[in-house]
Structure 1
Amino acid sequence: MSAVVMGTSAALPGAGAWAVGPPSPYAFAADAPSVEGSTSTADAERLAPGTTYRSSLPVEGAFSYRLDLDATSTAYVAVTAVPPPGTTVAATEGMRVSVQDGNSHSCSIDTVSIGADRRPRPLTALGTRDASRAGTRCQEAGAYYLVVERIHKEESAPDAWDLEIATVSEPRLDRAGETNAPEVWDSASPEPVTGEVRRRAGGLGFATATSVGQGAWRDDILPGETLFYAVPVDWGQQLHATAELSSSGGGDGVVARALTLSLYNPVRGYVDGGGVLYDGSQREAGLRALPPVAYPNRNAVADRVSGMRFAGAYYLAVHLSEQVADKFGDGPFGMTLRVGVSGAPKDGPGYVGESEPRGVFAVTGSGGETVAGGDAVGGGGGDGGGAVGGGDTSMKLLAVGGIGGGTVLLAVLGVWVGVGRRRVGVGG
C-alpha cells in the first residue's frame, strides 16, 4: 500500500468507511516527518523527544536511530511496524526493538511476533532508557541508539515494513517516593458495564484512536482489521474492559483466537491482552485484573503491573482475525466494547518539569477539564465522533498519550493469543 493511500486512510474513522476492498492495516500519524534508519550508528539520524516519525524497515539488517539523552529523564520509544497487506508471514516472524548505549549495552529489549494468526497486521514494540532505577546501566547522559530489526522472516519476504516511531520523555520526580511495586490490589470482578450501548467508530491507529470512557460502545469490525480506542485513566484508578463479537447469523467452523483485545499504556507499552475463539456465536475477550495506576508499578516484573505506571490515555486495540472471513463471510461484524474506570483520582507523584510531548501523563486538557472515567471526549455518540488526532489543544492529552500523535498495534499474550512477545529490561 502506498504512502498516499495510508495518508488518506488516516482521515477515515474506522470500519464503516471500507464498504469495498480490504481494510487499511494502520492509520499513521498525519504530517509525521520521515527519518531513515542506518546500518551504522555513525550515520544514525537523531530522534527528537516528543516527536512521531515515519520510517521503513527493510528485510535485512539492524537499523539504528540516535537518541541524545540527559541523565535524569526516562525515554520511551515506541515502534509500530506494518507489514504490507497480502504478504506471506510466519507465526514467528516479527520485530526486535532495543535501546543501547555507546558500548552496545542494551538498556531494554522488546520482541513481538505475528503469532498463530499468520496474517499481516501491525506490531508494536517499546524501547526504554529508564533513568528512575538508580544503580543500573544506561544512567549517564549522552548518545544512545534505538535499534530495530526483523526477526525470523520468511525467506521469500521481499517487502519492507512501514514504521511509525514515537518518542516520549518522562521527567524525574521532585522527591523520592515509594519504590516497591504493589503485591496485592483489588482484583475482584468489577460490576458489569450495562446500560445504553452507544455507537462509536474506532480509529485505525494510535494517532486516530477514538476517545471513550465509562460505558458500552458499539462498532463494526472487518476481518483483518484492528480498531483503536483511547481511555483516560488517572492516578489511583483501575481500568476494566471487554470486547464482545456478535453472532454471525451464518457460516460454519471455528477460528481459534478470532477476536483479541490488547491494552497499551500512554507511551504505547504493552500492558495486557486476551483472545477468544469464534464459532459463529457471540464471544467475549477481556483483560485480566489490573492494578490501580501508580508510579511504583514500574518496578514490577509483569507487564500488566509495570505497564500501569502513569496516568494518561490508555489504548485498547481490538483485532478481528482475517481467517474469520474464510468461514463466516466478509462482514462487517458487530462488536461491543465495554469500558469501566473505577476508583477516585489521586494526586500524581510530582514531576520536575514537563513531559515531551507536554501533558502525556495527565488526564486534564489545557483548560483543566477532567476527562478520565467520564463520557467520550471530543464528540457525541454519533459514528466516528471523538476521534483523537489533530483537533484543539485540549485534546493533546489523548493525542500525545500514544506518543506524539494519539497503540500498536496488536500484541496479545503469547503465540496462543495471536501475537508472541518477549520483553527484557536490562539492568546492572
Structure 2
Amino acid sequence: MKRQRNRGRVVAAVLAAVCAAAALPGQARAAGPGVYAFDPDAKNVQGATTNVEASTLDEGVPYRSMIKPGEKLYYRVTLDDASAAYVSAVAVPGDSGEVAYGDGINVSLRETDDTSCGSERANFGSGEYARPIAAYVSRTIKEGGSTCQESGQYDVLVERESKDASNSEAWGLELRFLEEPRLRSGVAMPTDGPESWPSASAKPLTGKQQKRSGGAGYSEATSLENGRWQDTVAPGQTRFYRVPVDWGQQIHATAELSNSTGTSTEFVGNALTLSLDNPAQGHVSNATLSYSGGPASASLRPLPPVAYRNRFDSSTQVSTMRFAGWYYLSVSLSPKLKEFYGSEPIPFELAVQVKNKAEASPYEGDAGVFGVTDQDREVARKGKNAREAAQSGPMTVVAAAGIGTGSVLLLGLGVWTLLARRRAAVTPAPGSPAVGGHRPPRGR
C-alpha cells in the first residue's frame, strides 16, 4: 500500500508540473498594452523590394514579416483559374510612437506585368493611435472577366504609408493567403449585389452579463455567442474576439465603456474603437466613442446578412459580408486616456447579437474557414479561442503546454524508469530471497 501511495505521488507530481505548464498559453491573454500576439504557427518571411525576388506564400499558412516607413514589399501567390482568393495583411505598429491620420498600409494584388487585380487600404483614421489594423485584397472569378482570371503567379504588394512626423520604427506584419471553396455544380449564383436588406438597429440586450477575457491577437481571439460580455481594456491595448456568423445571418455589436472611478472629466475624442473583420481578415466596419469619464457606448452600423451576392456590391461594408465563418471583433482603447484617467484597465461591455436562421452553404464539400459548424457554435458557447479549440485527445494538456515531443517522451520515460526501479527494488528475482529474508514457499 505504501509503495502504491509513493507511486501515486510521483505520477501526481509529474501531472501537476505538466498542468502548470499547460496554463501558460492563457497568460497571453493578460498581455500588456501594445503587445500583439502573432500566430504561434506563423512562418517568418521577408518581403522583397523587387517582384522577381518575392517569396511565395502558401495557401492557408500564416506568415510573419516586417515593413519600414515608406517601404513597398512584394510577396507572391499562385492562383488557379476557378477559386476566389484573398490575401490579408495585419499591420502591428506596437506602442512605441504616435501615428498620424493618414498612416496605414495598402495591399494590392497584381499580375506579374503589374496589371492591378484590386487593392485595399487600412489606416488609423481619426483615432490617431497605434493599434493593429487589417486590410485584404481579393481576386474574384467573374464570367466574362478579362483580367486576373487565369491561373499562374501573382504579386502581392504591401505598401506602408507614413507621415514624416509619425513613428519611424518598423511595423510587424501578419500575412495570410486563402482560397474560397468552389461552388456546388449546377447551382446558379447571383451576379449582382443585394437590392435591399434589413437595416434596423438591434434592440438592446437585457440578459445577464457574463465575464469573458479577450485575446491579444486574431489567433487568440476569444469565441463569443449572443450575449452581454464583460471585460477590461487598458489604454493602448486591443482585445480580440470572434463570433460565428453563418449564411443568412446578421451580426450586431455594441461596446459600452464604463465610467471612471476618478474625478477627471477631461474629454478624449475617439477614445475607443470597435472594429469588425471578416473570416479572411478583411476590414468590414468600425465605430468609435469619445470619453469624458462617464459611461459611453458605440455600435457598429447595421450590416447586411451574410450572402454570396454581397461581393458584387460597391460598398465595402456590404461586399465584405460575403461568406460565413468566424467574424472578428476588436476593442481598442486610446493611450491618451492614460494622461487623465491613469493606466489601469477600464471595464467595458461587448454586446453581441447574431440574428436569423442559418442557411445552406453554397460550397462543394468542406467549407473550411468559410463556414460555421455545430462544433464552432459549441466552441463559442464555451469561450475557447482557435488554438484551444483545436486541442483534443489524451495529449491535449501536453500540447497546450507547448512542450516539444522529445521533451514529452523524455518526461514519460523518466517517470516510468523511476517506477520500474522502485518495483525492481521490492520484487525478488527468481530463486532469490524475498524481502525480509524469507523465501517464498516452494511449490508442491
Q: Same fold (TM over 0.5)?
A: yes
> How many Å separate the matches in 2 of 1:353 and 1:71?
19
Q: CA deviation at 1:106?
A: 1.2
Which of 69, 93, 96 is the matching residue for 2:79?
A: 69
Cα deviation digits, residues 71-98 of structure 1 (max 9, x gap): 1111111101111322242221211111
Change (3 A) 1:88 1:340: closer
Higher helix share: 2
Please state if 1:208 is matched with 2:252: no
> How many Å separate the matches in 1 of 2:111 and 2:390?
37
Change (3 A) 1:302 1:346: same
Please state if 1:153 is matched with 2:166: no
Q: CA deviation at 1:237?
A: 0.9
Q: CA deviation at 1:160?
A: 1.4
Partners of 1:25 and 1:122 within 8 A in 2: no
> How many Å separate the matches in 1 of 2:274 and 2:166?
31
Q: CA deviation at 1:279?
A: 0.7
Please state if 1:264 is matched with 2:262: no
Which of 119, 123, 127 is the matching residue for 1:117?
A: 127
Partners of 2:273 and 2:286 within 8 A in 1: yes
Please state if 1:228 is matched with 2:250: no
> How many Å separate the matches in 1 of 2:51 and 2:25?
32
Partners of 1:76 and 1:128 within 8 A in 2: yes
Please state if 1:12 is matched with 2:27: yes
Cα deviation digits, residues 260-313 of structure 1 (max 9, x gap): 111111111111111111111111111111111110011111122111111110
Aligned to 1:392: 390
Aligned to 2:343: 330
> How many Å separate the matches in 1 of 2:52 and 2:286?
38
Aligned to 2:103: 93
Aligned residues: 367
Aligned to 1:180: 192
Please state if 1:46 is matched with 2:46: no
Tell me whether 170-179 or 119-128 shows the greater mean CA deviation: 170-179
Q: CA deviation at 1:206?
A: 0.6
Structure 2: gaps (5+ residues): 1-22, 393-444
Tell me whether 206-215 or 324-333 shows the greater mean CA deviation: 324-333
> How many Å separate the matches in 2 of 1:58 and 1:86?
14
User: RCO greater where, 1 or 2, for CA within 8 Å and sep 6 or more?
Assistant: 1
Change (3 A) 1:9 1:162: farther
Counterparts in 2 of 1:25-424, with a 5 A limit?
A: 25-132=35-142, 134-154=144-164, 157-174=167-184, 175-250=187-262, 251-349=264-362, 351-354=363-366, 359-364=368-373, 368-369=374-375, 371=377, 376-377=380-381, 379=382, 385-392=383-390
Change (3 A) 1:156 1:171: closer
Relative to the length of structure 1, the TM-score reads 0.81
RMSD of the alignment, in Å? 2.1
Partners of 2:139 and 2:148 within 8 A in 1: yes
Identity of aligned residues (%): 42
> How many Å separate the matches in 1 of 2:232 and 2:34?
14
Structure 1: gaps (5+ residues): 1-7, 380-384, 395-428
Cα deviation digits, residues 176-211 of structure 1 (max 9, x gap): 312222121122232321211000000111110000
Corresponding letter in the other structure for 2:95: P
Tell me whether 84-93 or 240-249 shows the greater mean CA deviation: 84-93
User: Could you say what secondary structure the match of 2:255 adopts?
Assistant: strand
> How many Å separate the matches in 1 of 2:336 and 2:143?
44
User: Could you say what secondary structure the match of 2:74 adopts?
Assistant: strand
Q: CA deviation at 1:119?
A: 2.5
Tell me whether 247-256 or 86-95 shows the greater mean CA deviation: 86-95
Looking at CA atoms only, which structure, 1 or 2, has the larger radius of gyration?
2
Change (3 A) 1:246 1:133: farther
